[in-house]
Amino acid sequence: MRRFVYCKVVLTTSLVWVLVDVFLLLYFSECNKCDDRKDRSLLPALRAVISRSHEGPGEMGKAVNIPKDDQEKMKDLFKINQFNLMASDMIALNRSLPDVRLDGCKTKVYPDDLPTTSIVIVFHNEAWSTLLRTVHSVINRSPDICCSRSFWWTTPVKETF
């Protein structure tokens, strides 16, 4: 019994010290005070390459019509990801969507000194068309000043973690 109490005290003390160390590390860390703008130069270059077209399947949220002779192929592709992969592949990667925000949200003015943010896209066995469309949407709709540098553009994911 005495050994169990002693073990609990040692474990609790160790946990408290680890939490104090993590707090001090995060509190005194200067990783968010870096003013390195050259890492963000990739986003404007990507935006210049990506052009916006407002015609085609799925533009402005319109439905995609699959030709009748491709219905069988559509059913086979559906089995891969359990959604209409043929329609997804027909939609442009940089499709445009209608602005469905409320009027109050459209007129809101944001300050110029917003903090940077990291965008994490978690996926597993995702169809390429949906994944690439997500990346295009993030690049097209995110202000340069708010996006911080992504590590996976320069190093493999396994090395990052």
Structure confidence at residue 76 (pLDDT): 92
Token reading at 118:
């990291």
Structure confidence at residue 116 (pLDDT): 80
The mean pLDDT of 125-145, rounded to a whole number, is 84
Question: What is the distance between the alpha carbons of residues 18 and 10, in angstroms, rounded to a whole number?
Answer: 12
Structure confidence at residue 49 (pLDDT): 54
3-class secondary-structure state, position 117: strand
Structure confidence by residue, pLDDT tens digits, 41-70: 555 655 555 555 567 888 888 889 999 999
Structure confidence at residue 37 (pLDDT): 46
In 59-81, which positions are buried (b, 16+ CB within 10 angstroms) versus exposed (e)? beeeeeeeeeeeeeeeeebeeee
Distance from chain centroid for Cα 132: 11
Q: Which residues share a beta bridge with 147?
A: 117
Structure confidence at residue 141 (pLDDT): 80
Eight-state DSSP code of residue 147: B
How many other CB atoms are found less than 10 A from the CB of residue 17? Answer: 10
Structure confidence by residue, pLDDT tens digits, 9-39: 888 999 889 888 888 777 777 655 555 444 4
Structure confidence at residue 52 (pLDDT): 57
Domain ranges for the chain, please list them: 1-33, 34-160
pLDDT of 98 over the 70 cut: yes
Say if residues 92 and 58 touch (Cβ distance below 8 Å).
yes
DSSP letters along 129-144, please? HHHHHHHHHHHHHS-G
Eight-state DSSP code of residue 94: T
Structure confidence at residue 45 (pLDDT): 57
Structure confidence at residue 13 (pLDDT): 93
